[in-house]
Amino acid sequence: MARKLPITGLAPALCLVALVLTGCGAHRAASAPSETTAAAAPGAAATPAAAPLAAATPGYPSSMAVLGHSNATGEDSDPAQPHAVIRANSWATGTNPAVNSVYRRILAKNPAIKGHNFNLAQPSATVDDLLLQARQAVTLTPKPGLFLVQIMDADIVCPATHGDYATFRSKLITALGVLARGAPRSRIFVVSQWGSPTTTWKALRPAQRQQFVAGDQGGGGIGPCAFIDPRGRLVPKEAARLDTIIHGYEAQLAAGCKHVPRCTYDRGAFGRQVDKNEYISEDLNHFSVNGAAAAAAVAWAAMKQRGVIPR
């Protein structure tokens, strides 16, 4: 459940467990899912809808899409397929009953959404990639009535300046504006960052902390925002620094969403969650199936509370 974090003054990038949730996969711009991807990972592309099995409950969309980074793709969620993207396990658009994604919850209320679960999220996506995804999203058929957005992680820098925040907010507004103009009747729901540095550290077992320090994440050691030291111990000062920076970026999510019609921010619902070991995948970078299930439940409750879907 991690993300590469650019750190001013350090040679390696810092990949942070659980709070910056895109994973450390290779960077890819948004592209249309291929037939192979769609066949291997249900939910990667929409398929023709079957005839409704029951009457739809008013207020639920008949098509949806998720945009953002790899924690919305189900990456590394299957221990038998390390590092593979398993879109069936996406908290947003997945079809795995064990996850009970937002898509499956809507399907139970509105059968017309069946097969209309687009997943445009990509590993290591930045807010620049979000713009490309948004441009693709508004060309989809049927046009999504709901866009879920999980972004921010790869854009985080430490230390972060007011200029960093302003640039991120400006680019976010541009991407969300593409969605709002291209799908003027659709809703947009933006989620915050999951968990916190301290609860992440607490969730990891001692051996996992050492794995985190020694592995590709590069998050152990010294320097700004390196919140786990080489011996696997929490560095409270750096955990607090990173937490403050994350909240700074989340403030940009909230501010950006306010500038865009029909955009709703989760008001920190993801961020208030306490990380648990069972939520973390084997690479320490992504959601496990249990983590995706937890994220789906939190998103669903927040969407109800914020009036995105009926209470």
Q: In what order do the strands lie in the sheet with 117-119?
A: 117-119, 64-68, 146-150, 187-190, 263-265
Residue bearing tokens 């990639």: 129
Report, as an integer, the average pLDDT of 60-85: 95
Residue 88 tokens read as 């069936």
Q: Which helix (DSSP H) or strand (DSSP E) does residue 23 occupy? A: none
Q: Is residue 62's pLDDT more than 80?
A: yes
Report, as an integer, the average pLDDT of 252-264: 98
Q: Which of 42, 4, 45, 41 is nearest to 22 (CA)?
A: 4
Residue bearing tokens 């970026």: 249
Measure the N-to-C terminal CA separation of the chain; round to a whole number of Å: 30
Where exactly are the structural domains of the chain?
Answer: 2-205+236-305
Q: Which CATH superfamily is domain 2-205+236-305 in?
A: SGNH hydrolase (3.40.50.1110)
pLDDT per position as a tens digit, 143-201: 999 999 999 989 999 999 999 999 999 999 999 999 999 999 999 999 999 999 999 99
* Distance separating alpha carbons of residues 266 and 306, to the nearest angstrom: 7
pLDDT of residue 153: 87
Report, as an integer, the average pLDDT of 91-96: 98
pLDDT-derived band at 292, boundaries 50, 70, 90: very high
pLDDT of residue 211: 87
pLDDT of residue 35: 28
* Distance separating alpha carbons of residues 156 and 100, to the nearest angstrom: 30
Residue bearing tokens 């937002």: 102
Bridge partners of 263, per DSSP, are 188
Bridge partners of 65, per DSSP, are 118, 147
Q: Which helix (DSSP H) or strand (DSSP E) does residue 117 occupy? A: strand 117-119
pLDDT-derived band at 216, boundaries 50, 70, 90: low
* Distance separating alpha carbons of residues 93 and 276, to the nearest angstrom: 22
Backbone angles phi, psi at 118, to 5 degrees: -85, 135
pLDDT of residue 54: 55
Report, as an integer, the average pLDDT of 209-216: 79
What is the overall mean pLDDT for the chain?
85
Q: Percent of the chain having pLDDT more than 90?
A: 73
pLDDT per position as a tens digit, 29-44: 333 343 223 333 334 4
Q: Is residue 72's pLDDT more than 50?
A: yes
Residues with Cβ < 8 Å from 174, sequence gap 6 or more?
131
pLDDT of residue 23: 39
Backbone angles phi, psi at 109, to 5 degrees: -100, -30
Q: Percent of the chain having pLDDT more than 70?
A: 80
